[in-house]
Chain A
Amino acid sequence: MKVPFEWLSEFVVIDMDPQDLALKLTMCGLEVEGTEKKAPSCNGVVVGKITAIDKHPNAENLVLCMIDTGRESLPIVCGAKNVAVGDKVPLAAVGAQLKDGFVVEKKKIRGIESPGMLCSEKELGLSDDHSGIFILPDECRVGRLLHEEPFVQDVILDINIPPNRGDCLSIYGIAREVGSILDQRAKLPIFNLETEANKKGKDFVSLKVLNTDACPRYVLRMINGISIKTSPFWIRNRIIKCGMRPINTIVDVTNYVMLELGQPLHAFDYQRIRGKRIEVRLAEQETTFRTLDGNERKLLQGDILICDGEGPVALAGIMGGENSEISETTQDVALESAYFNPLYIRKTTRRLGIKSEASLRFEKGIDIDNVGFAAERAIFLMNRLSGGAIIKGEREVYEKKELKTLFITYSHINGLLGTHISQQDITKILRSLDLHIKKEGEEGLFITIPNFRHDINEPADIIEEISRLYGYDRIPATRPISPLSAQKRNAREIALGTVKEFFKGAGFFELINFAFFSEKDIEYFLIPPSDERAAFVGIANPISREYAVMRTFIAPGVLKSIAYNINRGAKNLRLFEKGKVFFSKEGAPCERFAVCFAITGREAEFFWRDKYNDYDFFDIKGIMEGLMGAFGITFFPQKTSEPFLNPQRGVDIFVDGTKIGWIGELREEIVKSYEIEQSIYCAELQFDIILQKMKLEVQYHPIPRFPQVTRDFSFFIDDSIPVGMLMDKIRGASPLITSVGIFDMFRKEKRSVSFRVVFQSYEDTLKDETVNRLQEIIIKELTNINGISLRA
């Protein structure tokens, strides 16, 4: 809420500058988000007084004003009609600067030289009003620079009112807070209501409230014979500073009093109230109603309506109706000041999607005790600005309720806060907040909560009040009394740690994408409808179609990140992402963890000494082997069934007969869907299954004391025979074989593969004949297979 410092100062004495007050408010719970200095955007404009007005000799529409500037008298040519002798006016002499940097020059106007000009509010950057010269208030001092006049300059505090503090949605409400902080009492405005003694409200309108739960208090006041005008500057200025728009004297007063006291008001054109009666009731059936913004609203059972003799005239607390709206010709006004139950208002505004300054306040709860006073205040101001006669008395329905009383102990207060605030300080703070202490006991206090504090419902709320005014900075910082216990990381934390370590060490960058994707992604990856990855969880109100459903797998996001980076010149990428994926299982959403990684391009673009090959299947397979090794999991690759993998270069990963993921080259057409032109090798694993299968405990094996023996073998092997199977066969030939590797593969008519086998005994140094014997066995085992022959 925007709070003009100048207006605030009307209710409390603030002997500090606005910045200091802002800090105090912030530290007491009303966060001042910013302060804005307000001053007319002019320079060199002075306050002048009109001492004489003469006719312009050459123009009927112009006059010649003699302006006393305090030092001299200047003849100024003026075209406005609203000036009179004795008025104080802003004079911009030659050289003065007006709004938008406009500099006043000496000008001849119809033959008469004018050494300056009189200004409108608009020209001074004060408002949009350009209808005439800005007549200054009488307290302005002749000769003083206008922008130094206190009434045009101000500091506006932008205060973030917490949602539970509806009582602070007014200048008076803020003043009340300031009063608590500065140990003062905010003063309500004082005025004297002069009413027409022989006319009584009850002769003009009847009032009935059918549901006092929805509307426990309703006040109607009348003013007759007014004339609607533009409001004076001081009212308009305050309304503008608070971020609203001035309209006319009647509407401005309702807004002004709402801003001042926090009570929303509604003015009806009395002549348009049919049957001269007002009835407050809940809508009984579905009906339509045109609000004054011109919209046709659908009303449902339970909405609070203000009705006249024939039907609704206002949607209570939210917006008036077109049918009873004030117009330029309105003469008699019926003014409504009421308390509507916040629950009803919230329900209606939420459903209709209407937010007005009034409903905002009703929703949070206003001060029911203030309803009548606000009506008086508004009627008084209307009378002052628009004339007319105030009708004596008001029509009112008021169902009073007893005030809430709470009991709180001193030990509860200090126990919860960890403080030693004295009883004296506690009562002092409570009194400063208008929290009435009904009874002071040994142990604690009975406290009566005033009606404007809707947020105080239990002892904890009172503790908050005490703590914030006592000052959070005065509460000590302590160590909890309860003993510390060592915390064990859970299995997922540990496993995720392993993933992060592994990929970091393997030169991968971690991505974090939004957990949304689109149905298009499922389509692009050719996921069949029967696949669980097609059973997505949709978002009812997505921010865009691109992010309309929860991702069922991570790869599409990774692919988008690859495309993003390739488009920016990074073609060699090693990326991984971990995170949740979401599925709809029999209509219910469920979620799992998954890990995806991808490589594309090559290890590096160049190194002057070395040559790099583009990544291929064996690079990604190696990463998978490394990752599984880190988890202590043995996996079995099988020919892939994934529709998005190149079937020649993709495998599904199985652990203990369960499929846990896939790796391989993405099909060209899929990569193209994401506008990528290069090969992508990618993998995705279900993390939850890894969690079940992983073995992270390390068991030490003694280092062998005897030397190892290495032998190489080369065979011609038909393409139909998988080398992986042969490696297993060699490994199985003897427990003395500790490792089998492939150090060469080339193709010359036939495929030649060279194995390097390491023999190792833990018991003694291997003898040549032992190794030779094993060598014979290996050769025999392999060459026995059709399609394998030993290379000489």
Chain B
Amino acid sequence: MDIDVLQERVNKELSSIKTIDDVRKVRISLLGRKGVFSEYIDNIKLLDKGKRREAGQEINTLKLRTENRLQELEDSYAAEEKKKKDAASWIDITMPGKAPLVGKKHPITQTLDEMVRIFTSLGFSVAEGPDIELDYYNFEALNIPADHPARDMQDTFYIQDGVVLRTHTSPVQIRVMESQLPPLRIIAPGTVYRCDNDISHTPMFHQVEGLMVDKNVRFSDLKGILSMFVQDMFGKDTPLRFRPSYFPFTEPSAEVDIGCVICGGTGCRVCKDTGWIEIVGSGMVHPQVFRNVGYDQEEVTGFAFGMGVERIAMIRYGIDDIRQFYYNDIRFLSQF
């Protein structure tokens, strides 16, 4: 048993290492279960008893050194390998990424959905009515008889005698009251039509109608509900004011203005220099409307309101031409 031979063998094998795989092969051939060191260690027992101890120590020292050396080599090759791999995984991270297909709801739908969400949270449920409406529901029952001056307020599309395209969502009030008894708390979002087409009017647009009827519904409740809506829709600090107005189907009637979001109230083209933008028409349900649907006005009171969705969307997004909503230009739709 010659330690030198072993040493020589170890040196030779170590110097043959070129790659990390070589390290593994050499480790097996030297240190493996059937490796060179095992052979030498097995052979120790063939020596004289007195020499065994010394030889054992020498072999172990050499083995330890070999192990360390192999570990060193392995680490160094691994580092090298990793470096190579890293180099190969280089990409130009400034190249553009791949955009996923993203769709958008129309800004009117987004605004409408938001309005419905707010009123639903205030306890209102959604009601519906037809777009092609009877004159009776669109006008008569709402206290707007034929030849009433208020008919001038709206340019009506006629289908045939007594049948119109609804000019507002208010007929839904009548339909709901005719079919249900109080208490009522409904909103009616929908499409409405007026015979008008210019920079501030489209022949079709959207409204949300609201109606609450119960015992002891007060004008102050109308103020409360609409204030909550405005604060949720436009922000907690949005200034708002209630101003007397006229609608044939409410009495008293109120228009709700919010502080102009374009100029912040100092006056601009959008708010016609008033600092205020009108967004809701509202009021206490007119006694005649209750009589028309057979409600007992001694028993119940109610409020109603209506607002234009386009108008609210225009304020929300700063759009100055209502017709933009209906060109359906992708460059417009993709902004919301």
Contacts and interface: CB of A to CB of B under 8 A. Distances in A.
Nearest to B152: A163
B136 interface: no
B244 A608 contact: no
Contacts of B183: 482
Contacts of B123: 484-487
Interface in A439-497: 458-461, 463-464, 467-468, 472-473, 475-482, 484-490, 492-493
A463 B285 CA distance: 13
Contacts of B60: none
B101 A464 contact: no
Contact of B224 (A163, A350, A477): A477
Interface stretch (B12-20, B43-51, B62-70, B156-164): B156-164
B111 to A, nearest CB: 11
B197 interface: yes
A34 B243 CA distance: 16
A509 B287 contact: no
Interface in A312-371: 343, 346-347, 350, 363-364
A116 to B, nearest CB: 37
Nearest to A489: B126
Contacts of A678: none
A609 B273 contact: no
Interface in B105-135: 105-106, 108-109, 113, 116, 120, 122-126, 128, 130-132
Contacts of B116: 493
Contact of B242 (A473, A511, A609): A473
Nearest to B276: A26
A28 B253 CA distance: 11
Contacts of A609: 98
B220 A591 contact: no
What is the size category of the interface that chain B forms with chain A?
35 or more
A29 interface: yes
Contact of A507 (B101, B105, B128, B274): B101
Contact of B165 (A163, A464, A509, A539): A539
Nearest to B218: A418
Contact of B126 (A468, A476, A490, A582): A490
Contact of B301 (A29, A416, A489, A508): A416
7 contacts: A27-B244, A416-B219, A475-B242, A487-B126, A490-B125, A512-B108, A608-B96
A509 B333 CA distance: 7
Contact of A512 (B221, B251, B326): B326
B217 interface: yes
Interface stretch (A61-69, A289-297, A566-574, A643-651): A566-574
B147 A347 contact: yes
A493 B124 CA distance: 14
Contacts of A514: 202-204, 326
Interface of A: 26-29, 31, 33-34, 162-165, 343, 346-347, 350, 363-364, 415-419, 458-461, 463-464, 467-468, 472-473, 475-482, 484-490, 492-493, 500, 503-516, 537-544, 547, 550, 561, 564-565, 568, 570, 573-575, 579-580, 582, 589, 591, 603-604, 607-610
Nearest to A557: B328
A616 B272 CA distance: 51
Contacts of B214: 480-482
Contacts of A482: 183, 185, 214-217
B98 A507 contact: no
Nearest to A503: B103
B131 A29 contact: no
Interface string B317-336: 00000000111111101100
Interface in B9-61: none
B98 A512 contact: no
A477 B252 contact: no
B150 interface: yes
B241 interface: yes
Contacts of B124: 487
Nearest to B127: A490
Given A513-B328, A541-B158, A476 B132 contact: no
A504 B242 contact: no
Interface string B293-336: 00000000100000000000000000000000111111101100
B128 to A, nearest CB: 8
Given A34-B272, A164-B149, A460-B287, A479 B224 contact: yes
A458 B253 CA distance: 15
B105 A504 contact: yes
A34 B327 CA distance: 31
A559 to B, nearest CB: 11
B227 interface: yes
Contact of B105 (A472, A500, A540): A500
Contacts of A503: 103
Nearest to A483: B123
A29 B244 contact: yes
Interface in B217-264: 217-221, 223-225, 227, 241-246, 248, 251-255
